[in-house]
C-alpha cells in the first residue's frame, strides 16, 4: 500500500485525482499540495511512495520539485498538458505521464505499474537522469527499452536498425547485441528521430547514419554497417535517397 502526494494548483484537478486514487487497492494515504514550496516541505518531512505531479504548478514548473534532489526514492506520475518535446522525453525515458483530460483508468493503471515496480530504485534513478538529460537536449541521447527482464538504457547512436517481430520489436545494436522489446515497430517509428531514423519497409526502421551502401539492383536495398542487407520498398525509395543527401 502506497502513500501518495498529489501536487496540482487546481482544486478541481486535485479533487479528481484524489477521488480516482481512492479507488486504487494500492493506495493507503493521500496528501495534497497546491504549491511547489508546500510540496517541497512535505517531501522533506515525509516519506512518500508515489508523487502525482502536475507539470505547471501555478507559475512554477513541476520539474523543479525533482531536479534538485540527490536521489528520487519514490515513483512519479506526471499529469499535465505539455509540449511535444517533453512528451518525447517521457517516452524515451520510460516514465509514466498522463495528458489532461484523462480517464480514471489511465491513472489507475499508472498507479498499478508504480506499485509493481516501487522497489526498483536503481532503475527509477536512471530513468530520472535520462529524462532530465533529454530535457536539457544533451548529446548522446539514450532510450529506455522495456524487456521481459526489466529495462535497458541504450544510446540511440548504437542502434543499427529495428525489426518487427509480430507485436514485438527487436533492436540490433553495436557490439552484436540484440534486444527484444515488448512494443510494436510503429511505436518506435514514431518515437525515434525521423531525421535520423526511417521506416524503409513494413518490417524495418533503420538508422540512416549507419547505412554503408545503397544498391539499386534487385529492387533496391541498403547494406548497413553491420553487414545486414535490408530492402527499400518502391514507395520509400525517393524519400530515402532525399534523406540520405541531408543526413549529417
134-143 residue pLDDT tens: 766 655 688 8
Identify the sign of the CA torsion 35, 78, 115, 22: positive
Q: Specify whether 108 is located in the same domain as 150.
A: no
| CATH code of residue 94 | 3.40.50.2300
Q: Specify whether 122 is located in the same domain as 217.
A: no
Phi-psi region for residue 218, left (φ > 0), alpha (ψ -120 to 50) or beta?
left
Among residues 93, 118, 135, which one ends one of the domains? Answer: 135
Q: Which is more confident, 155 or 82? A: 155
Q: How many CA atoms lie within 13 A of 197 on its CB side?
A: 21
Q: Specify whether 15 is located in the same domain as 129.
A: yes
3 state SS of 246: helix
42-55 residue pLDDT tens: 999 999 999 999 88
Q: Specify whether 52 is located in the same domain as 93.
A: yes
With a CB cutoff of 8 Å and minimum separation 6, the contacts of 193 are: 156
Q: Specify whether 125 is located in the same domain as 147.
A: no
% pLDDT > 90, the chain? 50
Q: What is the number of domains present in the chain?
A: 2
**Helix, strand and coil percent figures for the chain, each rounded to 5:** 35, 35, 30
Arithmetic mean of pLDDT, 238-247:
88
Arithmetic mean of pLDDT, 180-197:
87
Q: Considering the entire predicted model, what is its pTM?
A: 0.62
Q: Specify whether 49 is located in the same domain as 123.
A: yes
Q: Specify whether 56 is located in the same domain as 96.
A: yes
Other beta carbons within 10 Å of 152: 19
User: Which domain does 200 fall in, by range?
Assistant: 142-246
70-92 residue pLDDT tens: 777 888 898 876 655 567 777 77
Give kind and range of the element (H or E) at residue 89. helix 84-93
Give helix 104-117 / helix 11-21 axis angle, nearest 10°.
Answer: 60
Among residues 135, 155, 179, which one ends one of the domains? Answer: 135
Q: Specify whether 180 is located in the same domain as 112.
A: no
> How far apart, in whole angstroms, are the C-alpha atoms of residue 200 and residue 190?
14
- Report DSSP state, residue 232: -
Q: Specify whether 93 is located in the same domain as 185.
A: no
Q: Specify whether 86 is located in the same domain as 172.
A: no
| CATH code of residue 210 | 2.40.50.1020
Amino acid at each position: 500500500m502506497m502513500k501518495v502526494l498529489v501536487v496540482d494548483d487546481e482544486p478541481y484537478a486535485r479533487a479528481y485525482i484524489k477521488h480516482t486514487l481512492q479507488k486504487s487497492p494500492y493506495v493507503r494515504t493521500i496528501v495534497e499540495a497546491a504549491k511547489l514550496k508546500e510540496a517541497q516541505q512535505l517531501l522533506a518531512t515525509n516519506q512518500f511512495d508515489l508523487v502525482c505531479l502536475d507539470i505547471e504548478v501555478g507559475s512554477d514548473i513541476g520539474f523543479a520539485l525533482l531536479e534538485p534532489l540527490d536521489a528520487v526514492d519514490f515513483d512519479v506520475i506526471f499529469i499535465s498538458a505539455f509540449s511535444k518535446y517533453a512528451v518525447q522525453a517521457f517516452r524515451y525515458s520510460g516514465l509514466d505521464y498522463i495528458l489532461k483530460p484523462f480517464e480514471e483508468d489511465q491513472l489507475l493503471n499508472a498507479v498499478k505499474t508504480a506499485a509493481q515496480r516501487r522497489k526498483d530504485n536503481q532503475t527509477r534513478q536512471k530513468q530520472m537522469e535520462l529524462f532530465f538529460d533529454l530535457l536539457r537536449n544533451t548529446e548522446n541521447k539514450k532510450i529506455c527499452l522495456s524487456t521481459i527482464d526489466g529495462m535497458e538504457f541504450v544510446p540511440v547512436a548504437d542502434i543499427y536498425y529495428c525489426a518487427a517481430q509480430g507485436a514485438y520489436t527487436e533492436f540490433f545494436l553495436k557490439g552484436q547485441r540484440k534486444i527484444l522489446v515488448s512494443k510494436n515497430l510503429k511505436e518506435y517509428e514514431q518515437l525515434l528521430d525521423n531525421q535520423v531514423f526511417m521506416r524503409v519497409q513494413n518490417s524495418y526502421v533503420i538508422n540512416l547514419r549507419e547505412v554503408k551502401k545503397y544498391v539499386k539492383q534487385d529492387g533496391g536495398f541498403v547494406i548497413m554497417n553491420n553487414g545486414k542487407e535490408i530492402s527499400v520498398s518502391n514507395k520509400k525509395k525517393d524519400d530515402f535517397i532525399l534523406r540520405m543527401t541531408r543526413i549529417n
